Structure 1
Amino acid sequence: MKKVLVTGGSGKLGRAVLRDLVAHGYDVLNVDSQTLSDPICPSVRIDLTNFGEVASAILGGIDERGGPFDAVVHLAAIPAPGLVANAKTFANNVPTTYNVFEACRLAKIKNVVFASSETVLGLPFDTPPPYAPVDEEYFPRPESAYSLGKLLDETMAAQFCRWDPELRIVGLRFSNVMYPEDYAAFPGFDSDPKKRKWNLWGYIDARDGAQAVRRSLQADFKGFEAFIIANADSVMTRSNTSLLAEVFPDVPQKGNISTNGTLLSIEKAKRMLGYSPQYSWRNEVGK
């Protein structure tokens, strides 16, 4: 499995994913509505809300950019709530995901990875989480049009896999994506823990997010699975005990909680994907 089509490779996480796949020997085509500024791999501009264009790309119908493709990574979306009108976010993101899944079905592609979101866990946690660390065991609690769309993406993925027992679709619930240049702001978070309570002080280094995508492509199970993808630590130097006592005093604590370990549990991703974060903001600040 070497030829991979990536949607949304021009975005913040997408660029890291393209670099990682190319570095590991994959033949990659990026399709996106935006131009890829770095010549990481071949790139084609398409309208991902147009099923004909999506199907043409995935079925190998673009001149000089033909398939067949062994796998598809779907990252393209309006990337967060509050960037455009709610209806536009929903009308862009959900049909785009359907177009990708359906085109993969027609192309008989059995290996699909897509970007879900940590927001399905109940972010921004104005209503406290049911317990900490949070994991994939409780039913999603979307609190925005963006998050609702991601839940529908996951629901579609499960049903596509029900239709085809040989299909694997992996939904990665990425935390807040960061590059090393973003880490300069992290030491300032300690002064007010409520600044980052909205996602339990989590983050994902884009390079570790890319690792999760690659490991998902290499996974050997069938069906649909969703995974929280965060880094191994929090954005804070204050201890989790102190943070939870101040901000979420009534939230039950589940299992052993380390001093600065992530409160967005990555145990399932470690167990089923072999995911192992390699980067931390603590090693970047002050370089």
Structure 2
Amino acid sequence: MRIAVTGSNGLLGRATVDLLRADGHEVVGFDVSRPAGPGFVKVDLADYGQTLDALLGVTARHSGLDALVHLAAIPVNGLVPDATTFHNNMTVSFNVMFGALRAGIRTIVYASSITAMGFPFEEAPPALPVDESYTAANNTYGLGKVLEEAMAAQLVRWHHDTSITALRYTNVVPADGYESFARAGDPTYRRDLIGSYVDARDGASAVAVSLRHRAPGFEVYNVAAPDSGLSIPTAELAKQWFPGVPLTPGGEFESLMSTAKLQSLGWRAEHLWRDEYRG
């Protein structure tokens, strides 16, 4: 397939581009920063005209796309004022998704977030592990993600063969970024992430699996490592963090962010902190 990846110069974007190319796909990266070169187009995705034109075709880059992977965003609150985070991310996601449909692209996989399901979890979720049935936004970044999911669920109705997949990523860890797991024995570590994490390479493989299993309609999948990022047993963490919340029994260190749905597609995380951390 010929696939465009927005945010191709980001942590998850780079890993995704590398994996898709290794799988034999032709990949065009769209981003606002990176030296120009083969396989890359500098695009201001906040500008609908630029976005639509880039999706339709770019001389010497592509003449049409089979699928779109949308990863571009202001990645967290705090980098710019809160309203700017919301306005930028919502505008970009609308431009990209709507533009893709106008360009005849019917397969879209995009990055949603743990922030669409309760992060930073100051309010306890209804049950543990937290699955895709729970939606709650507690900051402007998360609010944007919740609204993006609502928008995507409506857009797929406009063309019967459209497939949009939202991947609710937790904190994405680079291959060389496991130093912080030295704090794995601290019960306050990753508390706002309910102990979860995912390696960027496994985050990329979630995109690849989603593209392979595309089906008409809208689906949401959690993306996290299957194990907790702490060395404290999961049952103990759940009792301390969320007293009284029902916990479905699992492995001793099972993640409190359920990935059973994505695993049902054959996805498996291959990079776990217990193997990667060299402390």
Q: Would you call these one fold, judging by a TM-score over 0.5? A: yes
Secondary structure of 1:182 counterpart: coil
- Residue 58 of structure 1: CA displacement? 0.5
- 1:180 alignment partner, one of 172, 175, 179: 175
Distance in 2 between residues matched to 1:174 and 1:244, nearest whole Å: 20
Q: Does 1:143 align with 2:135?
A: no
Q: Where do residues 75-114 of structure 1 align in structure 2 (5 Å cutoff)? A: 75-114=71-110
Does structure 2 retain, via aligned residues, the 8 Å contact 1:113–1:171?
yes
Task: Give CA deviations for 1:192-214 in whole Å, capped at 9, x if unaligned.
Answer: x1231111100010000000001
Question: Which consecutive segments of 4 or more residues in structure 1 shift more than 6 A?
Answer: none
Q: Does 1:263 align with 2:263?
A: no
- Residue 36 of structure 1: CA displacement? 5.8
- 1:228 alignment partner, one of 222, 229, 246: 222
Does structure 1 retain, via aligned residues, the 8 Å contact 2:189–2:230?
no
Q: Where do residues 23-62 of structure 1 align in structure 2 (5 Å cutoff)? A: 23-35=22-34, 42-60=39-57, 62=58
Does structure 2 retain, via aligned residues, the 8 Å contact 1:77–1:93?
yes
- 2:267 alignment partner, one of 248, 268, 275: 275
- Residue 9 of structure 1: CA displacement? 0.8
Distance in 2 between residues matched to 1:113 and 1:220, nearest whole Å: 9
- The residue type paired with residue 7 of structure 1 is T
Does structure 1 retain, via aligned residues, the 8 Å contact 2:74–2:85?
yes
Q: Calculate the TM-score normalised by the size of structure 2.
A: 0.96
Distance in 1 between residues matched to 2:31 and 2:39, nearest whole Å: 11
Deviates more, 1:179-188 or 1:149-158: 179-188
Q: Calculate the TM-score normalised by the size of structure 1.
A: 0.94
Distance in 1 between residues matched to 2:266 and 2:158, nearest whole Å: 27
- Residue 66 of structure 1: CA displacement? 2.2
Secondary structure of 1:244 counterpart: helix
Distance in 1 between residues matched to 2:132 and 2:94, nearest whole Å: 23
Distance in 2 between residues matched to 1:241 and 1:187, nearest whole Å: 21
In structure 2, the residue matched to 1:167 is 162
Q: Does 1:286 align with 2:278?
A: yes
- Residue 236 of structure 1: CA displacement? 0.7
- Residue 275 of structure 1: CA displacement? 1.3
Distance in 2 between residues matched to 1:26 and 1:256, nearest whole Å: 40
Task: Specify every segment of 5 or more residues in structure 1 that has no aligned partner in the other structure, as ranges.
Answer: none
**Identity over aligned pairs, percent:** 39
Distance in 2 between residues matched to 1:83 and 1:53, nearest whole Å: 24
- The residue type paired with residue 26 of structure 1 is H
Task: Specify every segment of 5 or more residues in structure 2 that has no aligned partner in the other structure, as ranges.
Answer: none
Does structure 1 retain, via aligned residues, the 8 Å contact 2:113–2:168?
yes
Distance in 2 between residues matched to 1:71 and 1:136, nearest whole Å: 24
Distance in 1 between residues matched to 2:30 and 2:172, nearest whole Å: 20
- 1:219 alignment partner, one of 205, 213, 217: 213
Distance in 2 between residues matched to 1:190 and 1:24, nearest whole Å: 38
In structure 2, the residue matched to 1:157 is 152
Q: Where do residues 115-134 of structure 1 align in structure 2 (5 Å cutoff)? A: 115-134=111-130
Deviates more, 1:242-251 or 1:127-136: 242-251
How well do the aligned residues superpose, as a CA RMSD in angstroms?
Answer: 1.5
Distance in 2 between residues matched to 1:286 and 1:124, nearest whole Å: 28
- Residue 147 of structure 1: CA displacement? 0.5
In structure 2, the residue matched to 1:190 is 185
Q: Does 1:199 align with 2:198?
A: no
In structure 1, the residue matched to 2:203 is 209
Secondary structure of 1:211 counterpart: helix
- The residue type paired with residue 220 of structure 2 is A
Secondary structure of 1:100 counterpart: helix
Alignment length, in residue pairs? 279
- Residue 17 of structure 1: CA displacement? 0.4
Secondary structure of 2:5 counterpart: strand
